[in-house]
A and B are shown apart, each in its own frame.
Chain A
Amino acid sequence: MAAPPPPPPQWVIDLNTPPAARPKSAGIVDPPGYTASSTGSKARSPKQVSSKTPARAPPTTEEMDVLKLKKAWEVALAPVKQLPMTAIMMYMSGNSLQIFSIMMVLMAFKNPFMGLMATNQAFERFESKGTRAKLIMVKGVYVAMQILALALGIWKVNKMGLLPTTRSDWLAWETVRDPMEIAIPAF
């Protein structure tokens, strides 16, 4: 008669079931619904886990497209959400040329530019057959928002007097009128 196989040695058991990770500070009870063995026992009893949370039906393509579009809208509108904050900081930082305001102006130009350059990359994730047509509008809004941010930067530069918008900025290119006659003083 065949004897039942001997139980696996202790080290095999230990190897298969490593002790659950203990929190560093002992004495804190796990929150309700947390199963300490979930990670450790996942391999051993997958059925148990799946049986606890009912399996969700995978989303359909349409649903996915809607979700992607939502996400895309969020991305498109992200730059404008920072604008009030940036505007306030710009307003507060004054119009003098200091390291702080210069850095801020640099950022105000760099970010929209980088954003505009990476327009397609930003929406690559949401690209699919269904969303492609709708994404164009989203992209348009995204570009508009970036331009808005850029405009804020330009407004700031203008406030700082760095834009050649006045007559004095072009004074160096204006020339003095040449006199057609010359008179030499001789007294």
Chain B
Amino acid sequence: MRLPTNLLYLTLSILPSAFAVFADEAYNVDYHYELLGIPQPHTTFFHRPRKDEKATLLYTLSDLGVLGAVNPGVGNVVWRQFLGQDAHSETGFLRPVEGENTVVSAIGSSVNAWDAMSGREIWGNNFGGAIRDLEVLETATGNDEARDVLALFEEGGNAYLRMLKGTNGDVAWEYKDGSSDVPLQVSTNVRNVFVVSLHGSSGGYNLKVTILDPVTGKRTNEYTLTTKADIYAPEDVLLVGANSAAPIIAWTDKPMKNLKVNILGKTGDIQNLPLKESDGEITKVALHAPHLVQSLPHFVVHSHSDVSNRADVYHIDLSHKSIKLAYSLPKLPGQGAISVSSQDANVYFTRHTQDEVVVVSSASHGILGRWPLKLEKGRGSFVHGASEVVQRTADTYAVRSAVVTTDQDWVLVRNGAEGWSRLEGLSGIVAATWAEIPESESLAKVLEVEAESNPLSAYIHRVTRHIDDLQYLPDYLQNLPKRFLSSILPGESAPQKQGVLARDNFGFNKLVIVATQRGRLYGLDAGNQGSIVWSLGAFEIPAGKKWDVKGIWASPSKGTTTVRGAEGEFIQVNTTTGETIASTTPGSAPVIQSTVVVDGPLQKWLLPIGTNGEPGQVPAVLAPKEYLVVQGKNGEVKGLKFETKGDVANPVVTWTFTPPADHRVTGVVSRPAHDPVASIGNVLGDRTVLYKYLNPNIVLVTTVSDEASLASFYLLDTVSGDILYSTIHEGVDTKQPIASALTENWFSYSLWADITPTTDALPASKGYQIIISEMYESQIPNDRGPLDSVPESSSLEPSDIPNAEPALPHVITQSFLIPEAIGHMSVTETRQGITTRQLLCTLPSSNAIVGIPRTVLDPRRPVGRDPTPAELEEGLYRYHPVIEFDPKLILTHKREVIGVKDVITSPAILESTSLVFAYGIDVFGTRVTPSFAFDILGKGFNKLSLVSTVIALWVGVVVLAPMVRRKQINGRWMA
């Protein structure tokens, strides 16, 4: 009786979830990492979004220019604003307005104030030049008016300090520094505004402090500090204490023996604070000071050596304007992070070391709280953090800190325990590739062994193997009902085992290997909601620089992934585990501009192409037989062929495409590497065939002329260099993105065009346009063009006649107006190319990705008339000049995917499905079915009712069969 009760229990336990609301595919097949970028130390803080609210939010402006508010409780993003898209310099500034519902950001040339709760813009103001510093002006009296903002700009070699009104961002006054000094920072105490700038030349700078009146903006005083021996670059100045009661400026001497400090406003006074060396030389010194006027004027000097770190706390005597050492924090091994938080006048320093979190008050060296560090996994050591200390009772404290680790995670440590972690290192991806999960080879190997040995031993081996397999039988039997139920019950997809990488029957489980601009590699499991399989710090990229990845290639046969950077660096890792197999450092190989996967006589490999499109000499055994298409120094497109001479092969230029004078090449696209075509012609309504022009060796070159506002598109044959088709657009805004895609027998591009007085031929239109062109072998149906049905074609000698013209495609073009700019275009890929392709376009202004079906983008749609029945049969409907981006077309539905740079696609085993992965700042992945999921049962298919119908029929037959049989026998006796 055990089994039935068990079964009953199992059934009952499954029932409630089975009858829950059917989850739509949204949020189920797609995944999204809502990322901010690595938070910067000076732009990350806790702040109350409302004055009367107790809970704080965590604000940051990241290295990618994303401003965001994070809920410190659970770590989800409350709101985000992408500010970095127009800014060329990535250094931004973010300041909270204490006691108000506002945060103020400045990046590039614009200053904006944001509602701290909702993330809506309150005001914004744009200036020329670039922002150098931003500060919120503290007022002495607690008046209710919004606080004004000081913004320091560098414009045309001059420094401008502007005071912006806190209510609307208008300029209240402007101070222009006529000298050509480098503006560095602005700082205030209540009475004065200090502008610190670097005076002199790059051989060594003196610090110039200009004191301004905060009400009028007039200069009241100015003094210079002699620092020529110590300061050579703006980075050498450590800190200009912001809004504290006694702002200071600090720097170190070159050998890092002494810290030099000037209390702003005290002319010509430089105080020397010795830096104690404990073990080895000090490599990094950081200063942390509170940012509030009411806080005590204390600061901490945090000095790092290679193996340990220590800190000294100093007090500033306001009346004498002197600095004295209060106490020291002991030396501890490893790296650590110190953060400052202030509550009223109290200042707390939170020190994060390798194994504990310590909170001390700035006033005395007594430890207020000490918690051992418990992280869920190794995350490297802490780099910097922001913390919030709360006094619970008289002598109990609680602290939570958001800390950036060397593994580029952003971890919230709450009283020593890990609250949450965000994979901010995944942001800023510069290159990505799909990789197949290697097949499990153990069984294949075993079978191979059996095949090779003699029959008797093979038989014994097999029997023992099967007996061995018996140990899995109970497990299998136990899982059988679960598997059966999960396969028939709707809404519950079979949960994948965590941490197990295996291929699935549909081909959805694939890896994506990505490389970020900060030199890290990640392996993502696309079949398991994009979960991180492994991560690896490949190269140390200096701050302010980006890793320029030129090639990333996952070899399916070897199970390795190769990444090549622009400066010759190279790393080869195991695709599934992320273990480094081989690597070289930057600079050890020549600079490269691109890479290409070529098929040499021995193996496939990633061939680096040097600057100016010169791959250089390669060994003959590796030389590819194919032609190569490369770009030269000025963007010109060239065809190359390797000519073997002895043991080496040299590239020879076979043709060059140079754009017309004052045009420059902005983009070259080719057909995807995997671009199968199932049908070589389009069947028309009258059952004739328009043959597609299917030349694999074509590229679409985009050239623009900024002066003449022209954009030209050239379709080139990449073997012969012939121009197959070209078109020119007038009145094009070349600053707007021009995206293009080429696949199968069609290409499309989008641009912003205006009506020009010279256009007279066609009814021109103004706005964003998408243009689609289809190429056919001939304009006459049932005609295969001049080449007819010859089985092979050569671009070099198109026909037997010498020097014959190439067979030009017949191109049908149509343009459509679209509501917004397209940042990037790509097309879906499926296994056999039976499914129609979908054009995937990223929309930077609405942070979305749209999939435009080909039926909409059909250049043969009848214009100005209703379609004939034959055209209707083809699925053509009347041309409408505007394509609206229907919310149903948006692949990202409600998600906001910001900063998408590229979308890569990969075929699944199911013909209907294409895997999509979008990267940039955010990471987004989904599956698309352009011709609908014709080869898989949808979620809406009610397997339960099918099974129950079959069971009911079976029961009916079992019950009725004896009855019918009895009746028949009785009937015979009655007759």
Residues of A within 8 A of B (CB): 161, 166-169, 171-172, 174-187
Cβ of B811 within 8 Å of any chain A Cβ, yes or no, is no
Contacts of B629 in A (CB 8 A): 183-187
B668 contacts A179, CB within 8 Å?
A: no
Q: Are B680 and A185 in contact (CB under 8 A)?
A: no
A183 touches B627 (CB 8 A): yes
Cβ-closest chain B residue relative to A178: B792
Across-interface contacts of B696 in A (CB, < 8 A):
179, 182
Chain B residues lying within 8 Å of A182, measured Cβ to Cβ, are 625-627, 696-697, 719
Q: Within B587-632, which residues are at the interface with A (CB < 8 Å)?
A: 594-598, 607, 609, 613, 615, 624-631
Is there an interface contact between B719 and A183, defined as CB atoms closer than 8 Å? yes
Binds A, one of B61-69, B259-267, B783-791, B948-956: B783-791
Please determine whether B718 and A185 come into contact, CB atoms closer than 8 angstroms: yes
Known: A166-B687, A182-B627, A184-B626. A174 touches B681 (CB 8 A): yes
Residue among A172, A177, A178, A185 facing the most chain B CB atoms (10 A cut-off): A185
CB of A97 to closest CB in B, whole Å: 14
Determine the distance from Cα of A177 to Cα of B598 in the docked complex, in whole angstroms.
23
Contact, CB under 8 Å: A168 / B630 = no
Cα distance A179–B615 when bound, in Å? 24
12 A-B Cβ contacts within 8 A? A167-B687, A167-B781, A171-B689, A180-B793, A180-B796, A182-B626, A182-B697, A182-B719, A183-B628, A184-B598, A186-B629, A187-B629
Q: Known: A161-B687, A184-B598. Contact between A177 and B790, CB under 8 A?
A: yes
Contact pick for B687, options A169, A176, A177, A180, CB 8 Å: A169
Interface bin, chain B:
35 or more
- Check B607 against A186 for contact (C-beta < 8 Å): yes
Task: For the complex formed, measure the closest distance between the CB of A159 and the CB atoms of chain B, giving whole angstroms.
Answer: 13
Task: Check if B683 is an interface residue, CB within 8 A of chain A.
Answer: yes
Q: Give 4 new A-B contacts, CB below 8 A, not counting A177-B793, A182-B627, A185-B629.
A: A178-B793, A180-B793, A183-B628, A184-B626
Closest to B632 in A: A187
Residues of B within 8 A of A168 (CB): 681, 683-684, 687-689
**Would you call A180 and B794 a contact (CB within 8 A)?**
yes
B791 near A175 with CB under 8 A, answer yes
Chain B residues, Cβ within 8 Å of A187 = 594, 613, 629-631, 637, 668
Provide the bound-state CA to CA distance between A7 and B49, in Å.
135
Chain A residue at smallest Cβ distance from B783: A167
On whether the beta carbons of B680 and A176 are closer than 8 Å, the reply is: yes
Known: A181-B697, A186-B595. A174 touches B789 (CB 8 A): yes
Closest A residue by C-beta to B608: A186
Q: Which of A175, A183, A184, A186 contacts B680 (CB 8 A)?
A: A175
User: Within the complex, what minimum Cβ distance (angstroms) separates B311 from chain A?
Assistant: 52
Q: Tell which of A166, A172, A175 has the most Cβ of chain B within 10 Å.
A: A166
- Output the least CB separation between B635 and chain A (Å): 9
CB distance from A162 to the nearest CB of B (A): 12
B795 at the interface (CB under 8 A from A): yes
Contact across chains for B628 and A166 when beta carbons are under 8 A apart: no
Contacts of B670 in A (CB 8 A): 185
Nearest chain A residue, comparing its CB with the CB of B680: A176
Report the Cα distance A98→B597, complex, angstroms: 53
CB neighbors of A among B776-828 (8 A): 781-782, 787, 789-796
Once the chains bind, are A171 and B718 in contact (CB under 8 Å)? no
Determine whether the beta carbon of B699 is less than 8 Å from that of A185. Answer: yes
Is B428 located at the chain interface by the 8 A CB criterion?
Answer: no
**CB proximity to A under 8 Å, residues B235-288:** none
What's the nearest-Cβ distance from chain B to residue A157, in Å?
14
Q: Does any Cβ of A come within 8 Å of B677's Cβ?
A: yes
Alpha-carbon gap, A184 to B694, bound state (A): 16
**CB pair B594 A179 closer than 8 Å:** no
Given contacts A168-B687, A174-B789, contact A179 B598 (CB under 8 A): no
Determine the distance from Cα of A179 to Cα of B624 in the docked complex, in whole angstroms. 17
Cα of A179 to Cα of B791 in the assembled complex, Å? 9
In the assembled complex, which residues on chain A have CB atoms less than 8 Å from the CB atom of B787? 177
Selected contact of B795 from candidates A171, A178, A181, A184, CB within 8 Å: A181
Inter-subunit contact B594/A183 (CB<8 Å): no
Closest Cβ of chain B: how far from A173's Cβ, in Å?
Answer: 10
The 10 closest A-B pairs by CB, nearest first: A186-B596, A185-B670, A183-B718, A183-B627, A166-B687, A168-B683, A180-B794, A177-B793, A182-B626, A181-B719
- When distances are taken between beta carbons in the complex, the residues of chain A under 8 Å from B613 are 187
- With CB as the reference atom, state the residue of chain A lying closest to B719: A181
- Chain A residues lying within 8 Å of B624, measured Cβ to Cβ, are 184
Q: Is there an interface contact between B791 and A181, defined as CB atoms closer than 8 Å?
A: no
Most buried by A among B615, B670, B687: B687
Contact call A186/B594, Cβ cutoff below 8 A: yes
B81: Cβ under 8 A from any A Cβ:
no
User: In the assembly, what is the distance between CA of A158 and CA of B434, in Å?
Assistant: 48
Given contacts A169-B687, A184-B598, contact A178 B791 (CB under 8 A): yes
Q: How far is the CA of A174 from the CA of B677 in the complex (A)?
A: 13
In the complex, A90→B719 CA distance in Å? Answer: 56
Chain B residues positioned under 8 Å from A179 (CB to CB):
695-697, 719, 792-795
